[in-house]
Structure 1
Amino acid sequence: MGTRARAWDVFSDGVRLGLVVLFEDGRRAPDSIYVVRNAWHQDLGLIDTLGRAYRYLPHHEEPAWVGSGTIAAGAQRIFGSSGECELIEVSECETGPLPGSMAAPARADHAGEPAQPAQPSDAPPSDGGLPQSR
């Protein structure tokens, strides 16, 4: 997919809907794509360099084409917003590294403490079910 190059917050009618993230392949500009994400950084769709917008659909292998145009218009169609979308560029300092990116730090459970292995609370019942609290 390439590396994250730029990101924009997406607003419609004063409400932040999510963000658009540009991923570039340094070797080939036509391979760059814009990924549209909700506020929880879940991918909702993508926009290619020709302005074609596609929305991901649950239980479908291929995304659905929702229109062509500008990046803002594509984001509006992917979000399903009735109002026009405004894109405001943000820096990585403002958003921090996105979850799953190569720059995201490893999660530390407790700073300075060695990780303890998980211990079972009870032995599973003989019928094979999970223990239940009563």
Structure 2
Amino acid sequence: MFHKVKDVVALPGLRLGVQFANGATKIYDVKPLIARFPAFGALEDEALLSDVRVDVGGYGIIWSDELDLSCDELWEHGEDVETPFDGLMSFADASELWGLSESTLRKAVASGKIMSGVDARKYGKQWVVTRDAMQREYGQPVVV
């Protein structure tokens, strides 16, 4: 199952903070990976570990042509973290996950189907919506 990665950041203690398009956040511990696969030992260098970035399309993360991890590995072996932002996502991410256009979501706010200030809120030019509101109005996402 594909869980699109939106952002990643290196954390102290050979860990990664990974944010997914579905609004979830996980902490991935790199130490077991280093123990199992010697090539990942290079990540003990904090400068290299900090150079982590999301792969094109969100299918994983990369450091170099030789070092990368899939989104599935991060999802399955990452530890769930509760944050105040859990379940929040941009209209762009929600529209991709549910196979809708952003204009459909803006119309849903205008009509009151998704309540502005309760289910969704605009910050600057960016709309943010709750996962619960999307599931209530549109069911389960078509992309995980």
TM > 0.5 fold call:
no
Higher share in helix: 2
Query: Given the two structures, how large is their TM-score scaled by the length of structure 2?
Result: 0.23
Q: Which has the higher Rg, Structure 1 or Structure 2?
A: 1
